[in-house]
Amino acid sequence: RKSNTFTTAHVEAVVAAIHIGDDLSPGRKIIIQNLIKEYADCFALSMSEVYHVPGAVHKINVPRDKIFNTKVHQCPLTPLQCTYYDGVLDQMLEVGVIVPIAADKVKCVSPTTLAQKAH
């Protein structure tokens, strides 16, 4: 990490960013908040705080004869959705969360759905 994730400012920002439901008793809320504070280094407040784990490999065992869908069946996006996606993709590219690849290297695609949070 480039910064200390256990500074008071970072821990308080993490706790403030997490919504704890009203269905918990005050005592339980405190327990949850303390748990969040204990593991504050597991939460990223921005994409620039997300780092690659050295040596981590993501492998999906798929039979060699299995073919996945490589054609995008995305519902048309509104101009606002396009603007949102462009911004998020630019941000992810900038910090290295994703990288561009050639079309012939694509193994599988799936549509993306924008969903509004319930709270």
Residue 108 has, within 13 A of its CA and on its CB side, a CA count of: 6
Q: Residue 53 domain-assigned?
A: no
For residues 47 and 84, is the Cβ–Cβ distance under 8 A?
A: no
In this prediction, residue 49 has a pLDDT band, given cuts at 50, 70 and 90, of: confident
pLDDT, residue 98, reads 85
- 73 and 116 co-located in one domain: yes
Q: How far apart are CA 71 and CA 50, in angstroms?
A: 29
In a shared domain, residues 33 and 87: no
**19: Cβ contacts below 8 Å, ≥ 6 apart:** 119
List the domain range (segments joined by +) for residue 9: 1-45
Residues 18-39, mean pLDDT to the nearest whole number: 94
Burial of 14 (0-12, 13-18, 19+ CB in 10 A): buried
Q: Is residue 93 part of a domain?
A: yes
The count of domains in the chain is 2
What pLDDT, on a 0 to 100 scale, did the predictor assign at position 35? 96
Indicate if 94 and 119 belong to the same structural domain.
Answer: yes
Q: What is the pLDDT of residues 74-111, one digit of tens each?
A: 888 899 989 998 998 999 899 888 889 998 888 888 87
pLDDT score at 119: 55
Within this chain, do residues 32 and 75 fall inside the same structural domain, yes or no?
no
Note whether residue 28 is domain-resident: yes
Going by C-beta distance under 8 Å and a sequence separation of 6 or more, which residues neighbour residue 25? none
Determine contact, residues 89/112, Cβ cutoff 8 Å: no
Q: Which pLDDT score, from 0 to 100, does residue 117 have? A: 66
* DSSP label at residue 33: H
pTM over cut 0.95: no
Residues 44, 110: Cα–Cα separation, whole Å: 25
